[in-house]
Amino acid sequence: MTTSSIDQRVSLAVSTVIFALRPHPDTGLMTLWLPLVRRIREPYEGMWALPGGPLEADEDLAASAQHTLERTTGLAPNYLEQLYAFGNVDRSHSDTVGYRSSDRVVSIVYWALVRQDEVARAVDGENVEWFVADDLPPLAFDHAQIVDYALARLRAKITYTPIAHAFLPTEFTLADLRAVHEAVLRTTLDPANFRRQALATKTLVPTGTCLQGTSHRPPALFRFEAGAPTPAPEEQR
């Protein structure tokens, strides 16, 4: 039915959408950011793209994502999950740009969350820059759609799974946790109701201590319940 054309080969890449929280320069509000890498060769030379690279023959998929991440941005993610495998034939030149790559690329895309303090360690190198997730420049390939999908996934998953802690240090207040939700979902949440829901999940363990040094009633500190951070199905059992 389908005869493979000789001048085209399928190669496999692993890319990652990495989310982090930082204050917005204008508003000062906590906002979702992600690091992008500037392409230094055709196609799409000079444009911004997701960090990624070819899959090495002796690397697991998730390991490949982590290695490229470490190599390009210096980041160690606190949460990593497979997003989707993008592999349509036309995706290299989907933006109607005249570029023609001889190789067809199938990208297995992961999405990752990093802690706020980890962001500080990030290498802001020559060709790596952070952008506001909801206000990105034009991206290479189909990476804009991929980011959209990752954003939708993050926003959906944070509402029914305790992944917000992946943005936070080991000890945090309920206000911290709520701030993460509000930043990700871009809404305000009722503190009282948020508390009730958060405590109902049973994934929060009170440390017994309170945060001191506030100019008001000191909030209780919590820790996230130990437990596997959503293992990939290949690692299950």
Partner DNA sequence: GGCACTTAATGTTGACGTGACTTTAAGGTA
Partner DNA sequence: TACCTTAAAGTCACGTCAACATTAAGTGCC
Q: What residues make contact with its own copies under the rule CB under 8 A?
A: 1-5, 8-10, 12, 55-61, 67, 71, 82, 84-89, 91, 104, 106, 108, 142, 145-146, 149, 232-234, 236-237
223 contacts DNA (rule: CB under 7 A)? no
200 contacts DNA (rule: CB under 7 A)? yes
| Binds DNA by CB under 7 A, chosen from 145, 161, 214, 230 | 214
Q: Which partner in its own copies, DNA, none is near 85 (CB below 5 to 8 A by kind)? A: its own copies
CB-nearer residue toward DNA: 121 or 186: 186
Residue 131 carries which side chain, given as an amino acid letter? Answer: F
Contact 153, 173 (CB under 8 A): no
139 contacts DNA (rule: CB under 7 A)? no
| 109: nearest Cα among 79, 152, 77, 64 | 64
Contact 152, 139 (CB under 8 A): no
- Within 8 A by CB and 6+ apart from 64, the residues are 14, 53, 55, 56
57 contacts DNA (rule: CB under 7 A)? no
Contact 207, 218 (CB under 8 A): no
Binding residues (CB under 7 A) for DNA: these are 173-175, 190-193, 195-197, 200, 210, 214-220
